[in-house]
Chains A and B, each alone.
Chain A
Amino acid sequence: MEKIKELILRTVSDAVIEQKQKLTVTVEPNKLHLLAKTLRDNTALPFDFLVKLIGIDRGEQLGVNYLLASSTDLSKEIVLKTSTSDRENPLLYSISDLFETAQFNEREVFALLGIRFINNPDMRKFFLNGDWVGYPLRKDYDANPELNPVSIESKEIVDIAPRITETPQGLVEDTVKIFEDDDYIINVGPQHPSTHGVMHFRTSLNGEIIKKIDVHSGYIHRGIEKLSESLTYPQILHFTDRLDYLSANINRHGLCMCVEKAAEIEVPERAQYIRTIMDELNRIDSHLLAWACQCNDLGAITAFIYGMREREIILDIFEKTCGGRLIINQNVVGGVMFDIYADFQKDVKAFIPYMRSKLVEYDRFFSHNVIALGRMVTIGVMSKETAINYGVTGPAGRGSGWSCDIRKHIPYAMYDKVDFKEVIRTEGDSYARYMNRLDEIEESLHIIEQLIDNIPAGDIAAKTKAIIKLPEGEYYQRVEACRGEFGVFIESRGDKNPYRVKFRSPSMALVSVMPLICKNEKISDFIGIGGSMDYVIPDIDR
């Protein structure tokens, strides 16, 4: 990392480098693009994966934090920081030409904080309606409901995007049309059973071939990040369950770890074991549902019933442990809320061989079915470069040959003590993603097998203070959720409430790559590709 520091200072001489939780580099807005480009193109250790893009209202200034990681070694991380003091008309330079995943994130920052990005080709608000008054994440936001009343009047969708571009003559503001004038556009969603939630894809077609997709989001934007700013840390925990409800336990694990690291709370080993086992059960549960829904999308209703049948056994184990089925509220800061019940080990051990036999059954009756193969093999191909550039992690990223499993790169909980294989395929099509999920179920079973008999005795939670205050600073935590990398960012000002909380949602990257990989595919395969990506919309909208 010393070499990286030298490289940074050689590129931008007035950069301020600090060693906080991560290596943090603060630069002027006009130098940021150059620095990001240099770091991305650094051949020895390329920082080519934009993990998070976080807009922050720093009081006097409005700023953005970029968390970059190297795609070859995810544990190498750099934080870039920049800010502008113009609160009336804040402008920063876009890096969406370097990292495609920045495109949606910058639009999100514009909607929530009002920062416009120069050279971003599409500066519409992402979650909120275009006529929303105010920028919610600013500290001086006026939450008066009369400013933004609930309306039941349908609004016309305008496919014109404003943008700011930098030219030799200065900044030019103009608009650009999303679709051509005579395009035939159909709306997939927002209320459509196969979009796996309330996502709105405006799709222009040439016959039945997809020409272009325009993604509209925000139909389930609940403002969780703003709500978190007025709650204490234990109170925020339940929001993480409701982001990606299918990996509820893992998301919560991420936030708990972030708070524990910041407050320096030691988690008992028994709690670590329970957390890891529950995470893996959660992953199996999620992958089963993903498998069931993907098969359902391809027309195999029986598979849906089968997947839900096996899933129900895991839900029963969850229910016996902590009373919840889908949202289980198991993790708390410092450990877990409930100890395992007496027959937990027996139930889980009975489930493992049962699930293995069912995996064989799934393989036999769907994975080699000629219709299934025809609708998945070579459909929706995503290259490794695309996956990295769009930040697509999880089974989808690993289906494109990118080793991106946080459990391997930055082990947490018990993952450095167990033996498991990172499932990687290089085809990058729907079928690779489909097979990856089934293989990951097998790996999860293998992890549980190694842990289930060795759960040590002891406390299930560390004693914490009634009110947890984090020391001033910025804290990042990354975990491997079912759909990819889930990230938590907390900026604390030493108070019992966070100053800013940001969640990195893996699904947002999955959706942002959809327009690219669906191009020139048939409209009927659009649903199949969506099923293989397996995004969860409330995770994107937050």
Chain B
Amino acid sequence: MEVKNINIKGIPTEEFNDNEYLENYIKELEANGVNVVLSKIDELINWGRSNSVWPLIYATSCCGIEFMSAAAAHHDISRFGMEVTRNSPRQADLMIVAGTMVHKMGPLIRRVYDQMAEPKYVLAMGACAISGGPFVNSYHVIKGVDQIIPVDVYVPGCPPRPESLFYGLMQLQRKIKVEKFLGNRQR
């Protein structure tokens, strides 16, 4: 599979940033070997998976309000098949970490992440979730949620606009589409 075959909402691949990252990711996947027939089934599975990502909103502060804007009618997250926000981690595929993470929250976010079923993804929304943001020098702030759980997509901004969130979500869809479920030699 190549990156240019990945179609999200008809937007050409060249308009996305970070294509290099995905190409490396594909090379890594192909190094494990992939079967032609199975890869077609993979494409079908991934088409379904990438268009029905159910997010869990781990909203602690301002970014959560921008997510609410994104979910409401004006921006309409359901165009991406993501309007089914789950409040239980066991039903969610994607955790959107929106807001500052502090020491007291550390164990809780780890526990919620562990409760999610595989395959699971994490999107860090906003400066605080990425690095601690404006509060990076504080005694009680964790400097980025990636110190606790692995993050797939980073969306910068303070808070990011709904459009930037959608761009991040589309990048995640692209990432899901290049993955393969079947035909791994190691199985």
Residues of A within 8 A of B (CB): 127-129, 136, 141, 143, 148, 150-155, 190-193, 197-198, 218-224, 226-227, 230, 238-239, 242, 245-246, 289, 304-305, 308-309, 311-312, 315, 325-327, 537-538
Least CB separation from A241: chain B residue: B62
Question: How far does the alpha carbon of A155 sit from the alpha carbon of B19 in the complex, in Å?
Answer: 42
Cα distance, A312 to B68, chains bound together (Å): 11
Q: Is the beta-carbon distance between A191 and B73 smaller than 8 angstroms?
A: no
Would you list 16 pairs from A and B whose C-beta atoms are within 8 A, ordered by A residue?
A: A127-B140, A128-B140, A136-B139, A148-B103, A150-B103, A152-B107, A197-B59, A197-B61, A219-B102, A219-B108, A226-B138, A238-B134, A242-B134, A245-B62, A325-B66, A538-B60
Q: A153-B107, A220-B105, A327-B159 are in contact. List 11 more A-B contacts (CB 8 A).
A: A136-B139, A148-B103, A150-B106, A152-B107, A191-B112, A220-B102, A221-B102, A242-B134, A246-B65, A325-B161, A326-B66
Q: Which residues of A contact B66 (CB under 8 A)?
A: 325-326
Q: Report whether B87 and A222 are in contact in the complex, using a CB–CB cutoff of 8 Å.
A: no
- Within the complex, the shortest CB–CB distance from B103 to chain A, in Å, comes to 6
Known contacts: A129-B103, A308-B73. The answer to whether A326 contacts B135 by CB under 8 A is no
A interface footprint on B50-73 (CB within 8 Å = 1, 0 otherwise): 000000011111101110110011
Residue of A nearest to B68 (CB): A308
* Interface residue from B61, B87, B134, B137 paired with A245 (Cβ < 8 Å): B61
B87→A192 contact, CB < 8 A: yes
Interface 9-residue window, one of B23-31, B141-149, B166-174, B179-187 = B141-149
A222–B159 CA distance with the chains assembled, in angstroms:
16
User: Is B46 interfacial (CB 8 A cutoff)?
Assistant: no
Consensus secondary structure, chain B interface: mixed
Report chain B residues within 8 Å CB of A151.
103, 106-107
A129 touches B104 (CB 8 A): yes
User: Shortest Cβ distance from A314 into chain B, in angstroms?
Assistant: 12
A220 touches B148 (CB 8 A): no
Taking beta carbons and an 8 Å cutoff, which residues of B are in contact with A? Answer: 57-62, 64-66, 68-69, 72-74, 87, 99-100, 102-108, 110-112, 134-135, 137-142, 147-148, 158-159, 161
State how many angstroms separate the Cβ of B19 from the closest Cβ of chain A.
Answer: 29
What's the nearest-Cβ distance from chain B to residue A88, in Å?
A: 22
**Residue of B with least CB distance to A190:** B108
User: What's the least CB distance linking A166 to chain B, in Å?
Assistant: 32
Q: A154-B108, A192-B87, A218-B104 are in contact. Are A239 and B134 (CB under 8 A)?
A: yes
Which 3 residue pairs across A and B have the least CB separation, nearest first?
Answer: A308-B72, A223-B138, A245-B62
User: Do B87 and A224 touch across chains, with their CB atoms under 8 A apart?
Assistant: no
Q: Which residues of B contact A190 (CB under 8 A)?
A: 105, 108
Provide the bound-state CA to CA distance between A150 and B111, in Å: 14
The residues of A that contact B139 with a CB separation of less than 8 Å are 136, 141, 143, 148, 223, 226
- One of B60, B65, B138 near A219 (C-beta < 8 A): B60
Shortest CB-to-CB span from A523 to chain B, Å, is 16
Q: Which residues of A contact B138 (CB under 8 A)?
A: 222-224, 226-227
Name the A residues within 8 Å of B74 (CB-CB): 308-309, 312
Q: How far is the CB of A504 from chain B (nearest CB, A)?
A: 19
Chain B hits for A304, CB < 8 A: 72
Q: How far is the CA of A538 from the CA of B159 in the complex (A)?
A: 14
CA distance A378 to B137 in the complex (A): 46
- CB closest chain-A residue, reference B103: A150
Bound complex: CA A141 to CA B138 (Å): 12
Q: For residue B61, which residue of chain A has the nearest CB?
A: A538
Question: Which B residues are CB-close (under 8 A) to A305?
Answer: 72-73
CA distance A152 to B106 in the complex (A): 5
Beta-carbon nearest neighbor of A141 in chain B:
B139
CB distance from A524 to the nearest CB of B (A): 16
Docked Cα-Cα span, A219 to B108, in Å, equals: 10
A327 contacts B62, CB within 8 Å?
A: yes
> A305–B68 Cα gap in the complex (Å)?
10
Across the interface, A150 reaches (CB within 8 A) one of B59, B73, B108, B142, namely B142
Residue contact B106 to A198, C-beta cutoff 8 Å: no
Partner of B65, one of A136, A154, A289, A309: A289
| Least CB separation from A194: chain B residue | B87
A31 to chain B, nearest CB (A): 35
The residue of chain B having its C-beta at the shortest distance from the C-beta of A227 within the complex is: B138
Q: Nearest CB to that of A144 among chain B residues?
A: B139
When chains A and B are docked, how far (Å) is the Cα of A138 from the Cα of B160? Answer: 35
A431 to chain B, nearest CB (A): 24
Q: Is the CB of A198 within 8 A of B57?
A: no
Contact of A220 among B60, B72, B158 (CB under 8 A): B60
Instruction: Decide if B159 touches A191 in the complex (CB within 8 Å).
Output: no
CA distance A230 to B161 in the complex (A): 30
CA distance A148 to B102 in the complex (A): 12
How many Å lie between the Cα of A326 and that of B125 in the bound state? Answer: 15
Query: Quick one: which of B87, B107, B137 contacts A193, CB cutoff 8 A?
Result: B87
- Which of B73, B99, B110, B147 sits near A309, CB closer than 8 Å? B73
Enumerate chain B residues within 8 angstroms of A325, measured Cβ to Cβ.
Answer: 66, 69, 161
User: Residues of A contacting B134 with CB < 8 Å?
Assistant: 238-239, 242
CB neighbours of A223 from chain B (8 A): 135, 138-141
What residues of chain B lie closer than 8 Å to A538, measured between beta carbons?
Answer: 60-62, 99-100
Complex CA gap A239/B61 in Å reads 13
Chain B residues with CB below 8 A from A312, complex form: 69, 72, 74
Are A221 and B108 neighbours in the complex by a CB distance under 8 Å? no
- Closest Cβ of chain B to A152, distance in Å, is 4
- In the assembled complex, the CB of A384 is this many whole angstroms from the nearest CB of chain B, namely 32
CA distance A150 to B146 in the complex (A): 12
CA distance A197 to B66 in the complex (A): 13
Q: Cβ of A152 and Cβ of B110 under 8 Å apart?
A: yes
Q: Are A198 and B65 in contact (CB under 8 A)?
A: no
Please, which residues of chain B bring their CB within 8 A of the CB of A315?
69
Enumerate chain A residues within 8 angstroms of B110, measured Cβ to Cβ: 152
- Chain B residues whose CB sits within 8 angstroms of the CB of A289 once the complex forms: 65, 68
Contact of B69 with A308 in the complex, beta carbons under 8 Å: yes
> Which chain B residue lies CB-closest to A308?
B72
What is the distance, in angstroms, from A329's C-beta to the closest C-beta of chain B? 10
Rounded to whole Å, the gap between the CB of B38 and the closest CB of chain A is 37
Q: Is the CB of B148 within 8 A of A227?
A: no
**How far apart are the CA atoms of A190 and B87 in the complex, in Å?**
12
Nearest B residue to A218, CB-CB: B104
Given the known A-B contacts A152-B148, A246-B65, A325-B161, are A222 and B102 also in contact in the complex, defined by CB atoms under 8 Å? yes
CA distance A128 to B69 in the complex (A): 31
User: What are the residues of chain B within 8 A of A246 when measuring CB–CB?
Assistant: 65
- Complex CA–CA separation, A270 to B124 (angstroms): 40
Q: How far is the CB of A214 from chain B (nearest CB, A)?
A: 16
Q: Which chain A positions have C-beta within 8 A of B100?
A: 220, 222, 538
